[in-house]
Amino acid sequence: MSTAKSWFVYLIECIDGSVYTGIAIDVAARYAAHAAGKGARYTRSHPPLRLLATEAHPDRAAASRAEHRIKQLKPAEKRAYAARLRGDHSP
């Protein structure tokens, strides 16, 4: 039996409309930390509004690569990516 846990990339919409991207094993706990002002420096000054999407990865390295790739996207592209992850097919 393997004790390896999946890592997740998550996208958060902030109250100013920006999109924050991060990685975590426990997305709910990490989101709660961001919401409480104890997360990343960015979300302390851009409080989260809602979790847009999550994407599972087999390990931290894969999640970090995906996070880097997503961070290179423009905000509209990040939103479109999140919509695809959620299964939204509307334009």
- Digits of tens for pLDDT over the chain (91 positions)? 445 689 999 999 999 999 999 999 999 999 999 999 998 999 999 999 999 999 999 999 999 999 999 999 999 999 999 999 988 765 5
Instruction: Compute the distance between CA of residue 3 and CA of residue 81 in angstroms, rounded to an integer.
Output: 30
Q: Determine how many CB atoms are found less than 10 A away from the CB of residue 57.
A: 17
Q: What is the pLDDT of residue 39?
A: 87
Q: What is the pLDDT of residue 87?
A: 87
Residues 35/20, Cβ–Cβ less than 8 Å: no
Instruction: Compute the distance between CA of residue 23 and CA of residue 41 in angstroms, rounded to an integer.
Output: 15
CATH class of 7-86: alpha beta
Query: Which pairs count as long-range contacts for 34-43, CB under 8 Å and 24+ apart, including other chains?
Result: 43/12, 43/14
